Structure 1
Amino acid sequence: MNILKYKKIQLESLFSIPLLICFIINPLFGVLLFGIYIIGSDRSLNLIVKLSPYLIALFIGCVNATKVPENDLVWYLSEYLRAGNMSFSEYIASFGTFNNTVGILASGKEAAFAVFNYISYQFFGDNTKLYVLFYSFVAYSFLNVSIYKFGKALKIPNKYIITSIFIMAFTPYIFTMSAILLRQFLAAAILMYVLVNRLLYEKKSYVLLIVMFMVHSSAFLFVPFIFVPFFNKSLLHKNTFLYYLIILIVLFNIQNIAKVLLPIFENISTIKYILTRASEDTTFDLGQLSLAKRITSILTAVLPLILIYILKPRLKKETGIIHFFNVLLMLVIFIFANLHQSELSNRFNFYVWQFFPFVFLLYIWYFKLNRLILLLLMIFIVLFFIYYLSAGMWTYTVGFGVYYYSLIHYFII
């Protein structure tokens, strides 16, 4: 048995080498080959399937590294470079300061991202392109592996999983935010991984949970949702109606509750900062949440409920799935309860987009889309992504180089 297993590993390794060489020659061509192979094969080799989330993440990182610094990215890169001028403790304590005034991140309130920056600087020095590449690779690895593990937990065929990973990686709006809202994007990526790990695999993930809201405090909202025990029960369960009602009251009164709790946690800097932000009105006016984003949020929350309770009711037995999408539902309710605070509603709307590929995965699995449609979906989202690189509002220097750059080229430009 061990000999057969060893030979299988050898076969997988040998078969993977040509695909990996193609990826090194041209990452875009390489990830497409991986996708085509997995979608077109009845029995995809495990090694190739497991490598795909990371290789796609690496390609996205390569493209992101060519982004011309604008908007928030300018600030993030300047903060990253400061790591070269001070000790670890000085950097952590001063991260987020501006013009000698204490910034919102100083005093260790969201220290995990500062630690990430400092460690990254020890490897990449002043090379900000490699920093962005590495950061993007880490964040997208969390997201892509979350999709992979989610699909495996439900025994969904690989062809649907890889298509959804492409949707996660190449959806332009998600991609855009990865090089603007660096802290929140990383926190959201860790959140998705923690949700899948904890709710579908019953793994504790306490360290990642703490890191998550120490990267961006907005992620703290999800901590109680993860631990609420009745979230794994159906919304129609007769014994949980009162509990859900209490949750709704809390979500609509979060500002007042934060004001009450603030004095209790006065001496815990991270919790104090979170409660302070929650108790105050909008700090930055980002404009009202657009109608398109409101509709997207509603559909992303409602569609999985339709699938679970009407189209595929056997999913109600999957308590992890119930809990996962109840978290999404509560998030959307929280957003609509706080539409009067433009910063809050816009910021939390971003978390909704990370859930979308999971909903997409369930539906293409339910409708059993054939291989041709899956291939067309994959190719379409990649082509749309490439079009966005040149037609979007942000500038990426890769241009047509995406068609012929080698992996090495991205590391030296």
Structure 2
Amino acid sequence: MSEMMTTGQNVVARCRLLSAGVYSETQDGLFRPWLSDSFFQAQAILSEWMIQAGMQVRYDAAGNLIGRYEACIPGQAAILFGSHIDTVANGGCFDGLLGVILAISVVEQLSQAQKRYPFAIEIIAFGDEEGSAFPVSMMTSRAVSGEVNPEDWALIGPSGTVAEVMRARGLSCSDLSKAGRNAEDIIAFVEAHIEQGPVLEAQEFSLAAVRSIAAQRRGTVTIIGHAGHAGTLPMVMRRDALAAAAEAVLSVERVAVEFPYGAEGGLVATVGRLEVFPGGSNVVADRVEFSLDVRAGARSLRDAAVQQIENAFRDLAQRRGVTLSCAWQQDLEGAECDPTLVRMMQKAAESEGGSDVALVSGAGHDTMVMARRWPSVMLFIRSPGGISHHPDETVLEDDVDAAHRTLLGFLERLNLNQKN
């Protein structure tokens, strides 16, 4: 790192460097899916930075990049820092990548000070958190945690199936289980990440620990009505799929807003995509499809809200004489972060001006997979404007500097806890 730059400035500059050129599949916006040329270019430069920071580098059977900074006595279990380096289409350069580069900066400082702990420190750059290469997400963190699903291998992306694309890149689906780590090899998993929301900014805090990650349910709702001429079909005789969809979307919003203790539990419900068929301006719609995304801090709350939404759907379908079905494509359980680690991260963040209240993450992260196997915790960094998954996504250099110090403080607290 240049002596003229703060750690925060250096980390931000590195993130921005990987936002264009060979690090993106498109030149008019950042897009870096798993197993793409740009993905491997990003791995290459991250590998260089890890080596410069004093780490040994390797790749696992899922194609994840892993750097290791040894313990005082080589061969000890590790604290595993990590996040993802893939992006959504037209995404931002800090989502995921910031956590990896921040962790490298932490190891770099420890190496320069010739400081080692009784535990090793590893950094993993996961390849597939966003699901932008194939229709499911987190395949690479699931491989590490031992949750390989052979059904995923036949999923089709723009360049072929998972099996075909992995084979073309020198990887094999049948070897994915070899990426799995033994439980005793990892003491804890730590992920630093931009908040991707407006809460920290609204509360005027730069940082916060995360206590849980929302359970998610995603699906597609299909409403079948009956087409008709916009001028000749009387209103009372219509079975308008779009009118029914409009009511259905509003019912989703109403349930999420009015559900008892929903706000406290982080309940949100979203319809982000809607398609109308046949789509003519003078034709009553006979079919509508829309996406449905329901999330909450606890799975029980999410499932109760889903049930109420489905009940509302049934009622309106009967009243309007349409057929309504909901096909659920993804069910993510969510995760609770380890309470002891959350307290340590909270205290470390507080000492750097962060919040004394741990947050619930409404977005999914690799942590929700890793937490099913190992004690895990997250650190959120403020997102100005609450913007993410967009080219305008950004961070404040001072916040990143504070996050760097927070992670160092967390390691000190964890070391003391291990000794006790």
* TM, length-normalised to structure 2: 0.31
The structure having more radius of gyration, on CA atoms, is 2
